[in-house]
Amino acid sequence: MLRFAPWKVASIIGMSLIALLIVIPSMLSPAARTALQSHLPSWLPAKTITLGLDLQGGSHILLEVDSRAVVRTMVENLRDDVRRTLREERAGVVGGIAMQARGVQFRLANPAEAEKTIPKIRQLGQSSGAALLGAASAPGVEVNSTENGVVQVTITEAGVTDKVRRAVDQSIEVLRRRIDGSGMKEPTIQRQGADRILVQVPGLQDPQQLKELLGTTAKLEFRLVAQPGDNPADIEELDQTEGGKIPVEKQVMVQGEDLTDAQPGFDQRNGEPVVNFRFNLRGGQKFAEVTTRNVGKPFAIVLDNKVISAPRIISPITGGSGQISGRFTVEQANNLAILLRAGALPAKLTTIEERTVGPGLGQDSIDAGERASYVGAALVVVYMLVTYGVFGIFANIALFVHILFIFAALVLLGATLTLPGIAGIVFTIGMAVDSNVLIYERIREENHMGRSILSSLDAGFKRAFGTIVDSNVTMFVAAVILYFLGSGPVRGFAVSLGLGILTTIVTAVTMTRMMIAVWYRFARPTKLPI
């Protein structure tokens, strides 16, 4: 009981000091922190605690890739590929190629041709990136045929998953470019599950702009406005941003993917905000060719199937650059330029969860959390003191170190402190002394049964330890499960709860014991003080 290896004592004191060093930067105001750091050596820890969005304010947006739309596009592409393959193989089809939910079906005019066409169609599934990943990846399509020449091509589950996964990856890239382009600070963009993307932007600014940046597909197309006498099958009616509909040709002349740059600017004639863009070589040539052939006709600029504007082609545009006008505000022009520079999303993204906390509420929550922590801690400290006297002081020192350890661990792990996380810490303040209470009550009991002071101290620590472990394991299990199932703020709660349980074992058991041992050696008590 009284003997403590010097390394143990040293390591606990050392750990507490290190924890203090780690926590100090987070306790200071940003100004004081920078001032202090300029005077101190750079090896001192400077990391501060990461506050959750509910405390510092900000937006948390969960987006989902529309997998149905992805599948639809896959089926359309598959149909085109099958048609091309059949043409290359010169195989006739009776009644066209029928599109289905997850594949296409057609009937060969000559069933005997199945033998040479089917292997070619089977290859279609491999071309879609699967070949790059090696033979291990599953084929993208499955081909079945019957005796009478009906061929069924189905996109496999693996094919869809693969495509969705890549759509998510691409989307993350595009979103990152968009958010960086808009100048928002410290965004986190991460994949969540198979088809979701979590975007978190702290301390926000303008949630509406963020949502526009995230929610717009930004597929830009240049198409000719329909002329009288066009084949109705080649025309579709599209909405205009200023209201009403306008018939345009289905054929896309030039696409946004050929853009190399887009910048907001002002029209030289009327001063209206516009977006100036430049094409790459291919796009520039195509654009020149189309504008040369169609001088005098209106040219529709289509963004996400909506016509922004349809200016008349006054003269051929051969320089590879142009301008989009559309009665924009400066902000809209700016946003559109960011969107066009970052490129189009591979699929539509749907917002399925959004949580935006204003900085005012965040600060209020921090204040409330701080107040609750101070009051809670003060109540517990006083209560321990009046109940256990000098032993209460030991428990309170251990409690202080325990809180220090939790914060140090939060800083080191880069874990996020949320409002429920603060609640978790306040709760563990109440729970942390439980181990002390278990030990002290046991010591009292042993003493009442007639043991000497030293022997009751020893027995108290020894016998309470098993209970402390058992009871904390159950709590820890709850925290771990909460961590894996929860999200955001709730996760923050699980982290502080779990950390709190781990650190009590060190502080409440080992530290208290050390303090009591030292106290016993110097005070040589004749009576147990509790």
Among residues 246 and 385, whose Cβ is nearest to another protein? 385
Q: In the range 189-248, which residues lie near another protein by CB under 8 A?
A: 207-208, 211, 215
C-alpha–C-alpha distance, residues 495 and 489, integer Å: 10
Among residues 154 and 496, whose Cβ is nearest to another protein? 496
Q: Count of CB atoms within 10 A of residue 481's CB?
A: 11
Stretch touching another protein by CB under 8 A, among 74-82, 158-166, 167-175, 437-445:
437-445
4, 383, 519, 520: residue in contact with another protein (rule CB under 8 A):
383
Among residues 100 and 351, whose Cβ is nearest to another protein? 351
The closest alpha carbon to 310, from 395, 228, 240, 243, belongs to 240
265, 441, 502, 519: residue in contact with another protein (rule CB under 8 A):
441
Least spacing, CB of residue 389 vs another protein, in Å: 5
Least spacing, CB of residue 494 vs another protein, in Å: 7
C-alpha–C-alpha distance, residues 298 and 225, integer Å: 6
Report the amino acid identity of residue 333: A
Residue 494 interacts with another protein (CB under 8 A): yes or no: yes
Least spacing, CB of residue 219 vs another protein, in Å: 16
Q: In the range 325-344, which residues lie near another protein by CB under 8 A?
A: none
Looking up tokens 């597909």, which residue turns up? Answer: 217
Stretch touching another protein by CB under 8 A, among 14-22, 119-127, 153-161, 431-439:
431-439
220, 433, 508, 511: residue in contact with another protein (rule CB under 8 A):
433
C-alpha–C-alpha distance, residues 293 and 313, integer Å: 10
Least spacing, CB of residue 417 vs another protein, in Å: 13
**Are 210 and 338 within 8 A, CB to CB?**
no
Which tokens belong to 493? Answer: 């709660």
Looking up tokens 């010169």, which residue turns up? Answer: 90
C-alpha–C-alpha distance, residues 237 and 225, integer Å: 10
Residue 389 interacts with another protein (CB under 8 A): yes or no: yes
Q: What angle do CA 155, 159, 164 make, to 5 degrees?
A: 120
Among residues 427 and 520, whose Cβ is nearest to another protein? 427
C-alpha–C-alpha distance, residues 529 and 213, integer Å: 66
Number of residues that bind another protein (CB under 8 A): 82
277, 279, 299, 388: residue in contact with another protein (rule CB under 8 A):
388
Which tokens belong to 113? Answer: 């041709």
The closest alpha carbon to 419, from 59, 54, 61, belongs to 54
Least spacing, CB of residue 386 vs another protein, in Å: 5
Q: In the range 165-194, which residues lie near another protein by CB under 8 A?
A: none
Least spacing, CB of residue 349 vs another protein, in Å: 9
Which tokens belong to 21? Answer: 């060093």
Stretch touching another protein by CB under 8 A, among 30-38, 87-95, 229-237, 481-489:
481-489
Q: In the range 244-283, which residues lie near another protein by CB under 8 A?
A: none
Residue 438 interacts with another protein (CB under 8 A): yes or no: yes
DSSP run (H or E) holding 68: helix 67-88
Cα dihedral sign for 417, 419, 425, 428?
negative
- Contact pattern from residue 358 through residue 377 relative to another protein, giving x for each residue in contact according to CB under 8 A and a dash for the rest: x-xx--xx--xx-xxx-xxx
> 3-class DSSP state for residue 50?
strand
**Are 275 and 239 within 8 A, CB to CB?**
no
Q: In the range 6-65, which residues lie near another protein by CB under 8 A?
A: 54, 62, 64
Q: Within a 13 Å sphere around the CA of 98, how many CA atoms are in the beta-carbon half?
A: 11
CA 104 to the chain's CA centroid: 36
CA 49 to the chain's CA centroid: 19
Among residues 408 and 501, whose Cβ is nearest to another protein? 501
SS3 for 97-114, per residue?
EEECCCEEEEEECCHHHH
Residue 490 interacts with another protein (CB under 8 A): yes or no: yes
Least spacing, CB of residue 71 vs another protein, in Å: 17
- Pairing, β 299-303 against β 306-309: antiparallel
Residue 481 interacts with another protein (CB under 8 A): yes or no: yes
Residue 419 interacts with another protein (CB under 8 A): yes or no: yes
175, 189, 357, 411: residue in contact with another protein (rule CB under 8 A):
357
The closest alpha carbon to 323, from 246, 336, 331, 238, belongs to 336
Q: In the range 446-465, which residues lie near another protein by CB under 8 A?
A: 448, 459, 462-463, 465
Q: Considering just the CA atoms, what is the radius of gyration of the chain in Å?
A: 34
Least spacing, CB of residue 350 vs another protein, in Å: 5
| Phi, psi (deg, nearest 5) at residue 310 | -135, 75
Among residues 155 and 349, whose Cβ is nearest to another protein? 349
Among residues 76 and 367, whose Cβ is nearest to another protein? 367
Stretch touching another protein by CB under 8 A, among 32-40, 96-104, 259-267, 492-500:
492-500
Least spacing, CB of residue 449 vs another protein, in Å: 11
